[in-house]
Chains A and B, each alone.
Chain A
Amino acid sequence: MELDNINSLYNDILIEHYQRPFNKKIIENYNIKQEGINPSCGDELELYLKINNQKIEDLSFQGKGCSVSIASASIMCYLISTLKEYNIKDIKDLIDNIIDYIKGKIEYENIFNENFRELKQEFQDLLALKDIYKIPVRLKCALLGWITLKEILEELT
């Protein structure tokens, strides 16, 4: 799979999230902290979550890395922070789908099962990551935050 246009990878949404990341900070009163590392290119990420009653009340990240890893983590924090009413088990299922979408295995429309149907309009920042799978060496960068969050949620469910 070849990338047609470098701008489809480095699109405006991705650059915006890279240059002005959402919640790139340490939130107060977090009760979970987890590190994710991508040894092939040295991306390092720390996720901070505040989880109570099986709900994600807040999340943030810190770290250093390329635009793809930072933007993807920012998009993740931005979108997941809107799911305060959702159970983490459902969120984990959603993240599994998002990971498959980033890997190019499913289309954007198919991320959202019946529990999340209404998010299709609101989650469009994910479209910034739609072509990453065409550059396999960068796929790990895009997945770092999502896989780290998935690991946390798997422990809790």
Chain B
Amino acid sequence: MKKNDDVLNNGILKDDILTDLRIIEKEKVQKIRADFPFFKNNPEIVYLDNAATTQKPYILLEKEKEFLEKYYSNVNRSASKFSFHTTELLDKSRDIISKFINSNFNEIFFTYNATYGLNYLALFLAYNYLKENDEVILTQMEHHSNLLPFTYLSKIFNFKIKIWKLNNNLELDLNDLEKLITPKTKVISITYMSNVLGVVNNIESISNIVKDKGIMLLIDAAQGIVHNEIDTKKIDIDFLVFSAHKLYGPTGLGVVYINKKHFKNLQTKTPAFAGGGIVSKVNIDENLIDIGLLGFPYYFEPGTPAISQIYSFSHVINYLENINYYDYKTYEIKLTKYLVNKLQELGFIELYGYDRNEVSRNRFGIVPFNVKNVHSHDVSTVLDNYGIVIRVGHHCAQLINKKLNVDSTCRVSLAFYNISNEIDTLIQALYQVKKIFKL
């Protein structure tokens, strides 16, 4: 990907963030917004709930339509030339998506979403790797999607769950990880970026700590990949999961990466889900079932895949590559700084994490807060009246609330298409919250 975009990466003027933001918005971001029909169709909406899901570019709609109109058939099955071509399109799409995280064609497989990917991997590890009393490390900042599958399975397969706790900066301290690891530790499953706190975990350091100890590293990149580049050749990761819909892609599509070092002895492993499309032969003879499984990635994909979604998502990936998507990270960090400064100026906002830590490359994009003495649902209702969409509640990560000692929070989550004007609208609406609740 091309680097060092002048407008995006230069000229961080700390005392005049707004001027800086306005220049980038004018020269870059407004053009991006024009690529997303949502903004044209909803001029009155301020969409600040991007950690829940992101808006879709035209290219997604066009390519999905094109595929269904011209190329649609099932894949990997038929002997017809037409279906063979569709299979080629699917393979090409898989290749594009795999390159986005610098992996190989056969190292990724598709599921419904990140949650299904995490459930698949938890089951696959429980079936094939985890023995009684083995230990799995999860963290206090995990989304329920990562926390719950392992927790349920630990009861059935009798392995143990250990929770890596947050420190007072609401971060995970690498020293605490080293203390948790024992010879029984087999898996660490951790989010790349917290969907509540905006904290980006140092997965490279975590990988370095665990890789010589025979511990498998599973990364939930559902949020992380939206804001941070991932290079599976640079960082030694065993498994990684993300959703297409959070990365401007279609719903109903998740991507799972499996490091090729796990390809060995695949035939002896039990897949989590089985069915059509994953087997090379099946013989059933006097109660003995002999199943020959296909190789990666088909081994993991029973049933018809989300063909048109995979195709359209690959074109969204092309779009992101073409605009040098990750260059916008600097812009997102500046926008987060602007947001946090404005929230702090209000004087009636309780910030979590950002109250004692600077916005940085390791904490940005997602900002949790509460209006003092006002319930988050009331804040949401007032903001809603101004067309502002944020998320309130526990954000499917309730262990964090235990640390924060709150029942719920408001969460603003930014994307590269958000602009400073939208944050100004949010701040105006928060003044109304103050007025209504006589703060």
* A41 lies within 8 A of B432 (CB): no
Task: Tell me whether A3 and B385 are in contact in the complex, defined as CB-CB below 8 angstroms, given that A15-B436, A42-B393, A42-B394 are known contacts.
Answer: yes
Of A26-34, A46-54, A62-70, A101-109, which stretch is located at the interface?
Answer: A62-70
B281 at the interface (CB under 8 A from A): no
A1-28 to B contact mask, C-beta < 8 Å, 1/0: 0010011011000010001000000000
Q: How far is the CA of A101 from the CA of B143 in the complex (A)?
A: 40
Q: How many A-B residue pairs have CB under 8 A?
A: 40
Contact status of A42 and B408, CB under 8 A, knowing A15-B437, A65-B375: yes
Interface residues of B in 343-398 (CB under 8 A from A): 374-378, 381-382, 385, 393-394
Are the CB atoms of A6 and B432 closer together than 8 Å? yes
A92 in contact (CB, < 8 A): no
B438 CB-CB contact with A under 8 Å: yes
Given the interface pairs A3-B385, A6-B432, the reply to whether A138 lies near B437 with Cβ below 8 Å is: no
B contact residues around A41 at 8 Å (CB): 377, 393, 408
Docked CA distance A130–B4 (Å): 57
Q: Which residue of B lies closest to A3 (CB)?
A: B385
**Contact indicator per residue, chain A 109-135, by CB within 8 Å of chain B (1) or not (0):** 000000000000000000000000001
Do residues B382 and A67 form an inter-chain contact, with CB atoms below 8 A?
no
Complexed CA–CA distance, A15 and B438 (Å): 9
Which residues 393-439 of B have a CB within 8 angstroms of A? 393-394, 407-408, 432, 436-438
Number of B interface residues in the complex (CB < 8 A): 16
Asked whether any CB of chain B lies closer than 8 Å to the CB of A141, the reply is yes
Residue from B376, B377, B432, B438 having most chain A Cβ neighbours under 10 A: B377
Nearest residue in B to A40 (C-beta to C-beta)? B393
> Given A6-B432, A10-B437, A42-B394, does the pair A67, B385 have CB atoms closer than 8 Å?
no
B382–A66 CB distance below 8 A? no
B436 to chain A: which residues have CB within 8 Å? 6-7, 10, 15
A74 to chain B, nearest CB (A): 14
Closest to B384 in A: A135
The answer on a CB contact under 8 Å between A9 and B381 is yes
Write 16 A-B pairs (CB below 8 A) sorted by A numbering: A3-B385, A10-B378, A10-B382, A10-B436, A15-B437, A19-B437, A41-B377, A41-B408, A42-B408, A66-B378, A67-B375, A67-B437, A68-B377, A68-B378, A135-B381, A141-B377
Q: Which 4 residue pairs spanning A and B have beta carbons closest together?
A: A66-B375, A66-B377, A6-B385, A10-B436
